[in-house]
Structure 1
Amino acid sequence: MRFAEFDVLLQQALRRYAALERDGDVAVFDHWRATEADLMRVQRWLGVRLPEQYRGFLLRYGAGRFLFVELLPADEGRRWVETLLGANEAGSGFVAVAPVGTGDYWGFVVHDGICEDAVSFRYHEDGAVEPAADDFLEFVATEGLRVGR
């Protein structure tokens, strides 16, 4: 998926859920944008290169609540919020980017310090990983915006 296509889906979701957010019933989007410095710090700390699409998403839209999915922020200044650095260990072979709420995470499998573009689901019980989406925008459209469900 490309950003132009995702922007259309996002605008549709914003219109659909604007009343809920305006009335204070639901926090729809947090918009905790990352900076280049935040992303460079995460990459250095974890020893990985994050996917370009994911980096672009954090710079453009941010993290936190993104409708139906929580995205871990790169900004370490968030109090009481799990962050990318707090949820991940260098050399683990997986970079968690979104908690499921059960101890499982969505994230990227790492090979030789480079994260796959595809998003995978990792089970906390045994560390098993299964594919979830071909790329990050597809993942957020499906899990966050609930497109195609």
Structure 2
Amino acid sequence: MNPWFAKFRSDERGVAALEMAIVTPLLAGLVLASYALWDTASRRQDERAALNVGVQYYFHGGGDDTMASQLILNAWQRRPVDSTLNLTRTCMCETVPLACNSLCSGGAPPSVYVKMQLTANDPKALTNPEVVDSRVVRVR
């Protein structure tokens, strides 16, 4: 065996630097992936919390869809510019859709449901930038 290679093989200087050079990119990748997942989860939580504000508004007797929209949009922290909120009212007699100004067969007013749907395309989200989330609440 070459004496130079034997000397090189027995020299342990720089082993820690080599290990650090191998481990550092892996740790950096793990940190970046963790941040991306946390950021995405945080943004989704903001959206869900905003929808829950709308649900609470209706649960506590609110009936104005414009007011509900404003409350939801104001509660949505870090709302992307490219986002929409749609509120849709549906009236039902049991399982049959009906016009909201009509009465059910027994003369009772129909049940009124409001569907709140958020749609967003968030380029700042590192993973899954497109979001569609909705809630349906019975108003009466």
Pair in the same fold by TM > 0.5 = no
**Bin for the TM-score computed over the shorter chain:** under 0.3
Name the structure where strand makes up a greater proportion of residues.
2
TM-score of the aligned structures, taking structure 1 as reference length: 0.23
**Structure with the largest fraction of helix:** 2
CA radius of gyration, larger in = 2
Please give the TM-score of this superposition, normalised by the length of structure 2. 0.24
